[in-house]
Amino acid sequence: MAKVLDDGVNLTLQLSFWEKVGGLKKGLVVPKTRLLSKTISKNPWSRTVIKGWRAPGTGFPYLILLGTMRYRGGRDFTAIYKRRPVAVYEFKDAFYSRWIITE
């Protein structure tokens, strides 16, 4: 399962082998200074949490969503499993505007 590690300077998204395969990413690193907010959402499949279309990645509605979600004005990285709560990390001036990760 995806984990966000905080070393004091950077936030690192650590992915399992199968998450790397399904999400088509090795992992992500963003300087902690670019973090705007971290919020928890109890409904990860709502339109307020998920934006745009998935490309590239893997997805089965209400079961799993791994990879990049693209939308006008940005992109998000998702690792969402079932209907479990997610942590939403919002960044400024980063390749991904948000990371949406199951807790």
Q: Where are the alpha helices (DSSP H) in the chain?
A: 17-23
More confident residue, 42 or 22: 42
Give the pLDDT confidence score for residue 4 in this predicted structure.
96
| Segment (H or E) for 58 | strand 53-60
Taken in order 44, 55, 64, 12, the sign of the CA dihedral is negative
Average pLDDT value for the chain: 95
Q: Enumerate residues 6+ apart whose C-beta is below 8 A from 60.
A: none
Residue-number span of the structural domain to which 21 is assigned: 3-102
Give the pLDDT confidence score for residue 81 in this predicted structure.
96
Question: For tokens 């399904």, what's the residue?
Answer: 22
Give the pLDDT confidence score for residue 47 in this predicted structure.
92
Instruction: Domain count for the chain, please give it.
Output: 1
Once rounded to an integer, what is the mean pLDDT over residues 48-71?
A: 94
Give the pLDDT confidence score for residue 86 in this predicted structure.
98
Global pTM reads 0.93
Distance, CA of 16 to CA of 72 (rounded, Å): 29
